[in-house]
Each structure stands twice: as C-alpha cells, then as structure tokens.
Amino acid sequence: MPRVTIARNILAANEEIAADVRRRLAAAGVRCINLMSGPGAGKTTLLERSVARLRGQLAVGVIEGDIETSLDAERIEAAGAQVVQINTRGACHLEAHMVRDALETLNLQRLDLLFIENIGNLVCPAAWDLGEDLRAVVVSTTEGDEKPAKYPQIFAAAQVLVLNKMDLLPYVDYDPERVCTQALAVNPGLQIFALSCRSGEGLDAWCDWLLAFTSKRSVTTARETPYIMGGAGS
C-alpha cells in the first residue's frame, strides 16, 4: 500500500536528519528538550517563566513552532531567550528538517539548553524525532484527567510529564492522581512535575531539574521520587 510505504520513507528520512541535529547539538554542548502538548496547555508560559527564572544561570534558546503568527516567539524573546520562529502554515507537527534549518540562525556556542516548542497537538508530534535529548509533554488541570488513557502515544514517547495550571484545581473536576496513575501505566519511567505558571508553585523544582539536566547543578531529589507534586511544601 503506497501510503504506508511513503510514510515510512518520510519517517526514515526524518530520523537521519534528526540524528544530524543531535550530533550538532552534542558537539556544541547544547542539551535539547522537545516540548509537546495540546493547544493551550501552557507550553509558552512555562518557557517564559523558565527563561526568566534561569537568567544568569543558564543560557536558553527556543525554537518556536506555530502554524501561524509569531506571537509566542515575541513573548519568549521578551523573557530573554534566543528565539527562532518556525511557521508550518498548516502542518500539524514539527519535523527534523525544520529544526535543522532553524539551527542555522541560532548561536549554539552561546547556549546551554535549547527548547523546541512543538505545534499544539497531543497526537501527531509523538511520531517525529527532532534530534532532542528528551521529550516533555505538558497537560493542564483544565483539560480533563483522562488524557494519558485517551492519547497514550505521546505519553509513551516522553520522559517527562508536566502537570500545569495546578492553581485552577479548586475550580475544576480534575484528579491529578488519576492522571499520574494513567501516565505511569503507559510509561513507568515518566518523571512528573506538578506546577502552576501563574502562582509559581512547583517552578523551583522544575528549574532545579533543568539545571541538573544541563549539568549546571548536581542532580536533585527529582530522580529519587517517581514524581513531584507541587513545590517543596506539598
């Protein structure tokens, strides 16, 4: 069936380019996270807050993927990161060749950590290797707590799960434990952070982990617990 054959060829070509991206980033000493979520889970706000908190400790770059507009890139740039905008003009996920092209406009020697903010889509990005070291998926407390069961591929493809908008928990029917249980059933190795970009709850643990991930700080307790719910106090 030609459709499957060609899809395989495209994915194989993507993997070759992703391997090239991975080599270039490793050679420059840049760690890379592919950030994925459905629309509006808070990827951009998480990046804004992370970039601002890590300023002076970590040089962060962002490849910002959107179907249209440069609204998100402008927000991230204002927070103090090197940014490149990719507009896919309708495509539902980023592919490795887009990242390879975007690298040309970044000064890798000046970066410690590169985020790739994927298109807001909880389905298609899961299949595409972008040359990242790690994939993080963001869900929010307003999306319903059955997402890992309904969209298992993206949770299986990630190493980190961020549960965002914890400040809205009192106003929604959402059980964070249910989400964690479902996510760990799909992927027992997932590291989970619960936080709120609005209140700041949990952002310290997340930023500590980013520093450890980029070897700018020794490994924190993050690896000792299956997941971190909220900040240090909860």
- Interface residues with a second copy (CB under 8 A) are 2-3, 6, 10, 38-40, 42, 44, 66-69, 71-72, 90, 92, 119-124, 139-140, 142-144, 146-147, 149-153, 165, 167-168, 171-172
Question: Among all chains, which residue has been given the structure tokens 């050679």?
Answer: 27
SS3 57: coil
Task: Using the minimum distance from each CB to a second copy, give the nearer residue, 65 or 231.
Answer: 65
3-class secondary structure, 150: helix
Sign (positive/negative) of CA torsion 203, 163, 158, 3?
negative
Question: Residue 199 or residue 225: which is nearer to a second copy going by CB?
Answer: 199
Smallest distance, a second copy to C-beta of residue 114, A: 22
* The residue to which tokens 């249980």 are assigned: 181
- What's the min distance (Å) between Cβ of 202 and a second copy? 17
Q: How far is the CB of 231 from a second copy (least distance, A)?
A: 19
The Cβ of residue 107 has, within 10 Å, a number of other Cβ atoms equal to 10
Instruction: Decide whether 58 or 122 has the Cβ nearer to a second copy.
Output: 122
Contacts with 227 (C-beta within 8 Å, 6 or more apart), sequence order: 161, 180, 184, 190, 191, 192, 193, 194
Which residue, 11 or 19, is less far from a second copy as judged by CB? 11
| CB of residue 61 to a second copy, shortest distance in Å | 21
